[in-house]
Amino acid sequence: MATESRTAHWHDQLTSGLQQMGLQLDAVQQRSLLDYLLLLSKWNNAFNLTAVRDPSEMVSRQLLDSLSILPLLSGSTLLDVGTGAGLPGVPLAIARPDISFTLLDSNGKKCRFVEQAKIELCLENVRVERCRIEQFLPAERFEMVVSRAFAALPEMLDLCSHLISKKGCLLAMKGALHSEEIKAIAGRCAELKVHRLNVAACAAQRHAVVCLFSD
């Protein structure tokens, strides 16, 4: 599929998907999302950045899936743990320029891609950090820590607890949920909420598990 034809198809998928999900992004933001997808597709031809390589699935599984947690975002500083190729951090940063995003990953080539995306898309609210999560010691903790298919919930809490500010929260994007995993973390946070995510053109189950912390 030629680039212009593919971009037009992506545009239709994105516009329809955002409408179905009740999300409002302006034309400039939508253009930036498509530019990001084009860049990701180009880099995927040379590097193995993501498992999703079928152009017909990229809007739903990469853009819309990332944007599905927009209504759940809180605070002014957000850390995307294990961001990989910038998911969900880059789409969220495009949609929420008022939030400061730090995108963390230990993979060098993926961090280089995200740096390039930051430059080409002029994302002034994004910072990229190449580091293992256990070794990442920021000057200030984050009001929200987000992850997408990063680790089991108990392990996530173990790895991320030193990065979450007082009264902050951890948001884990998951597929199908297992009751044992939820029970394992129920007593480790002040409040636990599970949200069913609506992702257009996605038949699989998608959830967000939000762990709220107190003083």
- Report yes or no: 25 and 18 within 8 Å, Cβ to Cβ: yes
- How does strand 142-148 pair with strand 164-174? parallel
| 141-181: pLDDT as tens digits | 999 999 997 788 999 999 999 999 999 999 999 998 888 98
d(CA 201, CA 57): 9
Percent of the chain that is helix, strand, coil (3-state, to 5): 45, 20, 35
pLDDT reported for residue 144:
98
- Report yes or no: 142 and 77 within 8 Å, Cβ to Cβ: yes
* Closest-CA residue to 64 (of 13, 131, 128, 125): 13
How high is the mean pLDDT of the chain? 94
Contacts for 133 with CB less than 8 Å, ≥ 6 apart: 81, 82, 104, 106, 159, 160, 163
| 91-127: pLDDT as tens digits | 999 999 999 999 999 999 999 999 999 999 999 999 9
User: Rounded to the nearest 5°, which phi and psi values hold at 59?
Assistant: -65, -50
pLDDT reported for residue 8:
92
Q: Tell me the pLDDT band of 2, cut-offs 50, 70 and 90.
A: low
Contacts for 101 with CB less than 8 Å, ≥ 6 apart: 78, 79, 80, 89, 92, 93, 123, 125, 126, 127
pLDDT reported for residue 35:
97
d(CA 20, CA 214): 35
pLDDT reported for residue 101:
98
Give the sign of the dihedral formed by CA 153, CA 194, CA 211, CA 92.
positive
Q: Tell me the pLDDT band of 34, cut-offs 50, 70 and 90.
A: very high
* Two tokens, residue 73: 């975002």
Q: Tell me the pLDDT band of 26, cut-offs 50, 70 and 90.
A: very high
pLDDT reported for residue 1:
54
Residue 87 Cα distances to 40, 189, 213, angstroms: 11, 25, 24
For the chain, which domains are there? Answer: 3-212 (3.40.50.150)
Q: What is the pTM of this model?
A: 0.95
Q: Tell me the pLDDT band of 50, cut-offs 50, 70 and 90.
A: confident
